[in-house]
Every structure is written in C-alpha cells, then in structure tokens.
Amino acid sequence: MAGPMNILSPDPEGRRVILGLSGGVDSAVAALLLKERGADVHALHMTNWDDDAGYCTAAEDLQDARKICDQLDIPLHHVNFARAYRERVFRYFLDEYRAGRTPNPDVLCNREIKFGVFREFAKRLGGELLATGHYARTQRVGMDLQLRKARDLNKDQTYFLHAVPDEALGETVFPLGELHKDEVRRIARDRGLATHDKKDSTGICFIGERPFREFLANYLPAQPGPIRSPDGRLLGEHQGLMYYTPGQRQGLGIGGLRDAGDAPWYVAHKELETNTLVVVQGEHRLLYSDSILASEPAWIGAAPAELAAGSEFRCSVKLRYRQPDQACTVQEDAPGRLEVRFDVPQRAVAPGQYAVFYAGDRCLGGAVIDVTRRQERTLEQAV
C-alpha cells in the first residue's frame, strides 16, 4: 500500500470508479490509492471555463492529467462542461454580485457540476461510484449517510460539499479523507508521480491570477458612488458596490483624512438603494453581527429533529471557509428560512456566503446568508 487507507465508504474494490482528475497532486494520489485498493479506475478531466486570455491553467492541467494516467495505466476521458458552468454557476455568480452580495461559486460548482453533470456523464461511462480528491469523509450509520470532516482539519473541505445531494454523496469515495496533506505529498513523491511537487491551485479558475476587480468589470461595469461614514460624512468615491465585501480594508483609497487618526478603515455594509458604501474606522461595532437570517437550507439527510418540532437546536457554524467553528443556536424563522444566533458576535459576515452547520466533526448542512443583524451595544461588548 502507498499509504494508510482505513475503511473507505463506499468500498471501491472491484467496482468501476470514475475519478475527477484535475491534474493536481491530490486527485493523482486519489487515483493511485483507488487503483491499489482494487478499483477499476477511469479518470475524467473536466474543462469548466474557456479562457482566451491565458489566466486559467486548463491546458497545463490536462497535460498533467495525461501524465498521471500514463503512469498509472488508467483510461482518461476529457469533457467540456463550460456551457453548463456558465449557465448553472457563473450566471448566479454575476447575479449575486449585481445584487451587492458576496457569492461563493465553489459550493454551487460542487453541487451543479462536480456532483451534477459530472455524475451524469460518469454514469454513461459505466461508473458505479464517483471519487474526488476532496479532503472529506462519509460514513453510514444505519440507514443514515453522514458527511464528516477530514482527518486533516486544516484541509477539510466539507464547507464546500454541504449542498451536494445525499444520493451523490452516497456514491462518492473520498480517498484522502483519512490523510494529512504532508502524507499526500509524501506518497506522490515516493511513487514518483509527475505532479508530486505541483503547487496547489487557489481561488477560482476563471479568474486566475488577474486582479479580481479587473475581471468583474468585464461583466459588471463600474457604477461609482459615495463612500460615507455611519454619520453620513462623505469620505470618498467607490467604483461599484460589487467590488467590495464586508470587512474589506484594501482598495478604499480614503487614508490620511484630517482628524481621522491612523486606524484603518473597513467596509461595514452596502446601501444598494443609494449606491453608498458605508465604512467604519477601527474595530467598530458595525463590523459585528449577533445573528443572521439564512435561506435555502440544504441538509445532509433529514433536517434536525428540533426544527421539525418547531424548536431551536444548538450546534456550531462556519460563516466562511477556514473559520473556526462558532457556537450558535438555530431555529426556523419562516418556511425555508433560518435564524442563526451567535454566542459571540461575528465579524464581517457577508450576505451571499454560506452558513454551514456542524455537530462535532459531522457536517449537518448549510444555508445562504441573506441578512445580518446586530443589537445596539458598546464597542467593548461587541469585541
């Protein structure tokens, strides 16, 4: 064996597994481990964005995927899902920014593309199971499917997987769920995999290394407006509300104001009606939220029993990827909408992002953040 495998759920031995092979080190090691486990592995490389400017590494990734398949002697299939991506993910991405929100396209990409159209294509290839290089684990407890955090909590990706349908999760193997990243690198290096030292990809492929504002401006033209303090004082001009997110410090261009002191300025919120960007200086209470309203809840398995009974339940929540779990209380505010109350006020919560709920290492599901709410309190109480 190349590394510790433990018990994979579901068991891939003797079954055709269609692996999403990106061309990176994680999916390459996943392919190796699956093959050594006795799976009939077929690799499927997706192209999800047609980029003419050269910022996306799609061509290089495809070549690396071919190298890995040659090394491991597994078939490689290539499919272009760019049209589906634009219709199912990118359109939503633009609509959310147009509405002044901060979307997370990776969650939608997993649900609609990697575990949606990819899964449908894999069935046509005779696939019984799917596999990816995500750091996550699944477990069957009786008849219930559970999504659990990866052993390597620093790499855990359950935040991005919380909206994947149960049926798709139940057919998916996560070979890296029990491994730490340094073990994955070691396995790749020891077995001489072509991508053993390839740098991990970050961010969204269709943006690549270009400045985010430059990319977004190609689709959402600038709409300048005033930057104001909470008391209405004019501080400068912004280029478009879509270019800013709560808690943002860089790119405001309002330093050095008379009588303002040296503390940095941060985006507090956006007023779409007046096209106004409201900013605060220092760790202001307006940066903090006591609770949120979140819609479109997606649960892994059944919704928590307390919600069905009309009561609240305790759990923890992540409001962004890599955030430590935050204690909270959740209850239904209206059909299809949740109220989430935090034990400790949370800083720079962004509508459009996802609130993802956990009970220990079990991911329960999540919902889209719609509204942030705060109580009147002193700065000392807020922070």
Task: Dump pLDDT digits (tens) for 278-331.
Answer: 999 999 999 999 999 999 999 999 999 998 888 999 999 999 999 999 999 999
Q: In what side-by-side order are the strands of the sheet with 129-131?
A: 76-80, 40-47, 16-20, 129-131, 172-173
Helices (H), the chain: 25-36, 58-72, 82-85, 91-98, 105-109, 118-124, 158-161, 166-170, 181-190, 212-217, 305-308, 379-382
Residue 167 sits at φ, ψ, to 5 deg, of -60, -40
Checking if the pLDDT of 189 tops 70, the result is: yes
Domain limits of the chain?
16-190, 222-282, 287-382
Exposed, middle or buried by CB within 10 Å (0-12, 13-18, 19+), for 143?
exposed
Cis preceding linkage at 297, omega within 30: no
Q: Does domain 287-382 match CATH 3.40.50.300?
A: no
Both tokens of residue 104?
């997370």
What is the distance in angstroms between the CA of the first residue and the CA of the last residue of the chain? 50
Q: Is the pLDDT of residue 383 over 50?
A: no
> What distance in Å separates the CA atoms of residue 83 and residue 157, rounded to the nearest whole number?
25
Q: Which CATH superfamily is domain 16-190 in?
A: HUPs (3.40.50.620)
Residue owning tokens 């004082």: 233
Number of CB atoms found within 10 A of residue 124's CB: 10
Give alpha helix (H) positions in 180-338.
181-190, 212-217, 305-308
43 pairs with which residues across the strands?
Answer: 19, 76
Active site residues: 109, 205
Report pLDDT for 1.
37
| Residues 98-117: tens digit of each pLDDT | 999 999 999 999 999 999 99
Joined together, the tokens standing for residue 330 give: 């959740």
Between CA 165 and CA 260 the distance in angstroms is 50
Sheet of 225-228, strand order? 234-238, 225-228, 276-281, 265-271
180 to 47, 50, 153, 184, 247: CA distances (angstroms): 27, 33, 8, 7, 31
Task: Kindly state which CATH superfamily the domain 222-282 is placed in.
Answer: Adenine nucleotide alpha hydrolases-like domains (2.30.30.280)
pLDDT tens-place string over residues 58-110: 788 899 999 999 999 999 999 999 999 999 999 999 999 999 999 999 999 99
pTM: 0.92
* Token representation of residue 155: 């790499």
User: Which among 383, 318, 382 has a CA at the least distance from the CA of 349?
Assistant: 318
